[in-house]
Amino acid sequence: MSDYAEARDRRQLQIHELRIDEFIRRYPRPARVLFLLPGGMGSQLWRARAPGAGNAWVRLLPGAGYDFDRVWLDRRSFTGRALELRMARNGDGAHHDLGDRLIIADGLVRVAGRTLYDRFAQFCEAHGLALFTFAWDWRRRLEESADLLLRFLPSFRQRVGAAWGSDPLEGFVLLGHSYGGMIVRLLLDEESPELDQMARAITAACPFYGFGTILKRWLAGDPYLNLLGRRKVIGTICSLPGCYPLAYLDKDTWLENARSLVDDPFPLAAYPSLDGDGRPIDPYRPEPGQYPENTGFDLAELAHGSEIARRIAAPPVRRADKLICIRGVGYPTIGGITWKRQAITPRPPLLPGDGIQPAWGTRLAALPADQCITVAGAEHMFFCEHGATQQAIAELL
């Protein structure tokens, strides 16, 4: 690991250490712990005011003199700050933040004073669960965020255990919403005495096989941010390594899982990525001209993303029996795309899903059918807020 990456991780872990203090104050007595990994773009990101890691501790606590400014998400994100999320691979091989000004995840995104997990927090309190929200930088490679959680768990056990007089990781639950569920899947296969104590690993609306939206953003930007300059927005999105495992499944993964996906109650009948002639076109094995040039699109990162995507789609080699996938139906959802001249369009028909993720993609096909729970009426962004989702989680406890 480069010095820059290690310094950024050190700062990130310091933030999580502060949140342990808050956790102990909120839950002074032993309770079953649930770690929440929020969905992609659901964690707030803060950018340092000066480049470099520095030696002094920086604080993000309200009321303190901020050494960091929020870059995601507030109204300024839409007036230019979102472009500060850009990353670049430097000579040390690490992805650096723009201008080497560290970006750190802390807290949940708030809109009009609310988060996407307020009712879920109330649910946890009502069911005697001690909720710890593990904010993570969704721009970075997924395996880096998984590694940060692994490095964090021993400290959590030691400090909370000292306060409680008991092991807080005994029978804990790990829940990943949407993109956060992909981290949960990666963690299953890690050697870890802390993870061995996990009772349940739950994914909620997790895109195990990617989705078409990221492909469109690579090609056309984001409709909410393009007012900042479409090419700048595309360049920023293409610079983020965390996006690259989100393309639709590669052809080999499709062939390995086709039987289960076709036989699913909410099936994927054919490969979801086709060209204008109806021929399968693999996002991870691009043909000449499939992706535009001079936008910053990174073919090397696409190859790395393909490796991570295949790890996520593969049958777990550890703790497979602990994984439960919760998926939603009730909202017509894009289930496939058609490529035409470096542009994509939805391919009919719309399929059952949660409005963002089709149901076929939010169940890990390698698992037995009884390790997938289908809930009706849960919309993707608010999936954990929905009563049916919470009821399903309650029954798993």
**pLDDT of amino acid 54:** 46
In whole angstroms, what is the distance from residue 372 CA to residue 58 CA?
43
**pLDDT of amino acid 1:** 74
User: What are the residue ranges of helices labelled H in 226-377?
Assistant: 230-238, 251-263, 299-313
Overall average pLDDT of the 72-97 stretch: 93
**pLDDT of amino acid 67:** 84
Question: DSSP code of 60?
Answer: -
Overall average pLDDT of the 30-45 stretch: 97
- Would you place residue 92 in the very low, low, confident or very high pLDDT band (cuts 50, 70, 90)? confident
The order of strands in the sheet holding 273-275 is 273-275, 337-339, 344-346
**pLDDT of amino acid 210:** 95
pLDDT in tens, 302-338: 999 999 999 999 999 999 999 999 999 999 999 999 9
pLDDT in tens, 346-389: 999 999 999 999 999 999 999 999 999 999 999 999 999 999 99
pLDDT in tens, 233-266: 999 999 999 999 999 999 999 999 999 999 999 9
Overall average pLDDT of the 177-185 stretch: 98
Tokens linked to 342: 């470096």
**pLDDT of amino acid 3:** 86
Question: DSSP code of 334?
Answer: -
Overall average pLDDT of the 154-164 stretch: 98
- Would you list the domain boundaries of the chain? 212-322+332-352
In whole angstroms, what is the distance from residue 140 CA to residue 130 CA?
27
**pLDDT of amino acid 60:** 46
Model confidence at 59: pLDDT above 60: no
Model confidence at 34: pLDDT above 80: yes
pLDDT in tens, 126-140: 999 999 999 999 999
Query: In whole angstroms, what separates CA 160 from the centre of its chain?
Result: 26
**pLDDT of amino acid 275:** 93
Look up the pTM and report it.
Answer: 0.95
Model confidence at 64: pLDDT above 50: no
**pLDDT of amino acid 212:** 87
- Would you place residue 66 in the very low, low, confident or very high pLDDT band (cuts 50, 70, 90)? low
- Proportion of the chain in helix, strand, coil states, percent, rounded to 5: 40, 20, 40
Taking phi over 0 as left and psi of -120 to 50 as alpha, with beta for the rest, 229 belongs to left
Model confidence at 93: pLDDT above 90: no
Peptide bond connecting 349 to the previous residue in cis, omega within 30 degrees of 0? yes
- Would you place residue 281 in the very low, low, confident or very high pLDDT band (cuts 50, 70, 90)? very high
Share of the chain above pLDDT 90, in %: 87
- Would you place residue 13 in the very low, low, confident or very high pLDDT band (cuts 50, 70, 90)? very high
Model confidence at 63: pLDDT above 60: no
**pLDDT of amino acid 269:** 92
**pLDDT of amino acid 53:** 52
